[in-house]
Amino acid sequence: MAQSRRLAKLGTYLRPHWQDTALGIIALFSVNGLGVYIPLLIRSGVDTLSTTFSLNQVIRYAVIIISLSSAMWMMRMASRIWIFGVGRQVEFELKQRIFQHLLKLEPAYFTTNTPGDLISRATSDVENIRRLLGFAVLSLANTLFAYALTVPVMLSISVDLTLASLAVYPFMFLLVYLFSDRLRQQQAAVQEQLSDMSELIQEDISGISLIKIYAQEENERQAFQKKNQDLLTANLILARTRNTLFPLIGGLANISSLIIIWLGTMRISSDSLPVGDFLALLIYVERLVFPTALLGFTITAYQRGEVSIDRLESILSVTPKIQDPPDAIHLAANTIKGEVTAKNLSYTYPGANIPALNDINLTIAPGELVAIVGAIGAGKSTLANTLPRLLDIKAGQLFLDGLDITKIALNDLRRAIAYVPQDSFLFSTTIQNNIRYGDPVRKQENVVTVARLAQMEAEINNFPQQYETIVGERGITLSGGQRQRTALARAMLIDAPVLILDDALSSVDNQTATQILRNLSSGTQQKTVIFITHQLSAAATADRIMVMDKGEIVQIGKHTELVEQPGLYKKLWSQHQVQELLK
Ligand SMILES: Nc1ncnc2c1ncn2[C@@H]1O[C@H](COP(=O)(O)OP(=O)(O)OP(=O)(O)O)[C@@H](O)[C@H]1O
């Protein structure tokens, strides 16, 4: 990102807080104004007292100087409260924006952008921007005011002494300029390495069982060590550059103090410089040392923040591929009948050579129970994902009650379709909260009803706290079948006219699966059920069966018809019967 665009971004982050920022900067200006005024008082005090000494005068000067110094101290505190507060506010808002934005992005985005990397951007990069807006803004403004107010007063006291003492400063700025690009690149490398490491930790913790099953602890340890080593190397390279630059800046700043002491004392001894002027000049040069020496840290904070702006904007600038069309059709509640039609529906995953769905044509009547069967990788889940628009399909290919789904408001479409995916993800909360996830205000009795329909009621009643039992992260305290039936109850609770079950009863025995399907089709409110499965005996109870192969629907019919026809279904059925015999 170009420098000007980064600054523009900073401007947009700061705009909502311009009042606090302005107050903070005004306070800093006052601090520096007082910082220039107090040495002038000291100068006049020393000059007056060196000619006519009086205790009263000493006390008067002391009281004024102490009062002004206290005011300066308070102003400095206020400036920090305002400016650091803005940094914290921006940090809060950025985190909100990132999270909200991530929620809008389609699932495909998260297959190429890993949670570890995204978490690192939403935490450490946001923190860097906070430091930039807090520490770097404060420090830059402070340095600027320090120079702008101090140098003219120094010049009014002695032009040549001022110029001599500031002669080293151009070298200081040159140094900073020469190092800045290198610092930024090294900073970016550190942040990338940090992201890589977070990604590995996140993945390894999620896949801990797999690591143990395949006894891969040693390999994972080595992989971690490599990433950790890379991070250490990147940090050391950065530290080397910083540790070269900062002492150089500090050293140059101290040289200017030495020049004043050397030339000033020579002038005092030749009576060409009053002691008060010398003291004021010395204090001024000392005042400039700190902001100048801090310039290195300020630059690092600034550059770290710049890198982080780029990393955050690379997330925030992604336009969601799946969103509401301009004139989205809104579906009135309880008016959807649940007819699903596909017309030449095709879909190819980004980067794939062959389509996962190829010219699919089908119509599923309202209230019909259709099973979709087929070999592994035939395209069944892809078909299921197209209906709630989890995949970015083209317009005019898929219809709900005759309405093109790409024209329907996304929230309305997704409320009309309940979907139980293959992976029955549960949140780390109570069973009850998991079941009513899609409708958090539903009554307990409704939760119990769907648990019964999903054949889960008896088991929940046996849990220690029944419906209040907390399931562990990803539901690890439940068996696979229990997780699936909880996910099914969750989908049934939202009472959508269309229900898609994607291999959602695979961990449930055939008898239970068949009973659940019977419950679904015998309710008062008939749902269109699309039941994707490898369990052919459960599929056989469906109204119709669609058979998929290589992204196409190759057979459609009732079980009794299909077992009579030569084709894929007959083959799958024979294999299924052999498996049943062998059990
Ligand atoms: N995110 C993805 N990116 C690229 N290709 C994908 C993606 N997901 C699935 N595919 C490919 O699309 C094809 C269809 O996959 P899909 O998951 O729809 O099959 P399936 O019939 O549901 O299989 P299974 O019975 O194993 O669940 C497969 O070739 C698969 O490799």
Query: In terms of domains, do 307 and 391 share one?
Result: no
Query: In terms of domains, do 286 and 419 share one?
Result: no
Per-residue pLDDT of the chain (583 residues; tens, 9 = 90+): 677 777 888 888 889 999 999 999 999 999 999 999 999 988 888 888 877 778 888 888 889 999 999 999 999 999 999 999 999 999 999 999 999 999 888 888 888 888 878 888 888 889 888 988 888 888 888 889 999 999 999 999 999 899 998 888 888 878 877 887 788 788 888 888 888 888 888 888 878 878 887 778 888 999 999 999 999 999 999 999 988 887 888 788 788 888 888 998 998 888 888 888 988 998 998 888 778 767 767 877 888 888 888 888 888 888 888 888 888 888 887 788 889 999 999 999 988 889 999 999 999 999 899 999 998 889 999 999 999 998 999 999 999 999 999 999 988 998 899 898 888 888 888 899 899 988 888 888 889 999 988 888 888 988 888 888 888 665 557 888 888 889 989 988 888 889 999 988 887 777 777 777 777 766 555 789 999 998 888 888 889 999 999 999 999 999 999 888 888 988 988 887 777 766 6
Q: Which of 380, 568, 572 to mutate to test the pocket of ligand 1 (most atoms within 8 A of CB)?
A: 380
Beta-carbon contacts of residue 156 (< 8 Å; ≥ 6 apart): none
Query: In terms of domains, do 132 and 256 share one?
Result: yes
Query: In terms of domains, do 401 and 293 share one?
Result: no
Query: In terms of domains, do 120 and 203 share one?
Result: yes
Q: Is residue 423 one of the residues assigned to a domain?
A: yes
Tokens of 442: 């539903």
User: What DSSP assignment string belongs to 498-555?
Assistant: EEEEESTTTTS-HHHHHHHHHHHHHSSS--EEEEE-S-HHHHTTSSEEEEEETTEEEE
**Which residue lies with its CA nearest to atom 31 of ligand 1?**
377
Q: Is residue 367 one of the residues assigned to a domain?
A: yes
Length of the chain equals 583
Domain CATH for 374: 3.40.50.300
Domain CATH for 140: 1.20.1560.10
Cα angle: 386, vertex 392, 395; to 5 degrees: 85
Question: Looking at this protein, which amino acid is placed at residue 308?
Answer: S
Q: Rounded to the nearest whole angstrom, what is the distance from the C-alpha of residue 106 to the centroid of ligand 1?
A: 17
C-alpha closest to that of 475 among 420, 430, 422, 426: 426
Cα angle: 125, vertex 128, 133; to 5 degrees: 130
Centroid of chain to Cα 439: 26
Query: In terms of domains, do 375 and 419 share one?
Result: yes
Q: Is residue 5 one of the residues assigned to a domain?
A: no
C-alpha closest to that of 46 among 36, 58, 55, 56: 58
User: What's the number of domains the chain is made of?
Assistant: 2
Tokens 């439940």 found at: 478
According to DSSP, the residues that pair with 374 across neighbouring strands are: 548
**Alpha carbon distance 4, 108 (integer Å):** 32
User: Pairing state of beta strands 340-347 and 498-502?
Assistant: unpaired
Q: Rounded to the nearest whole angstrom, what is the distance from the C-alpha of residue 30 to the centroid of ligand 1?
A: 66
What is the domain range of residue 551? 340-582
Query: In terms of domains, do 356 and 307 share one?
Result: no
Q: Which residues line ligand 1 (CB under 6 A)?
A: 111, 349, 352, 356, 374, 376-382, 503
Q: Phi/psi class of residue 503: alpha, beta or left (left: φ > 0; alpha: ψ in -120 to 50)?
A: left
Q: Is residue 28 one of the residues assigned to a domain?
A: no
Tokens of 60: 């008067």
User: What separation, in Å, do the N-terminal and C-terminal C-alpha atoms of the chain show?
Assistant: 63
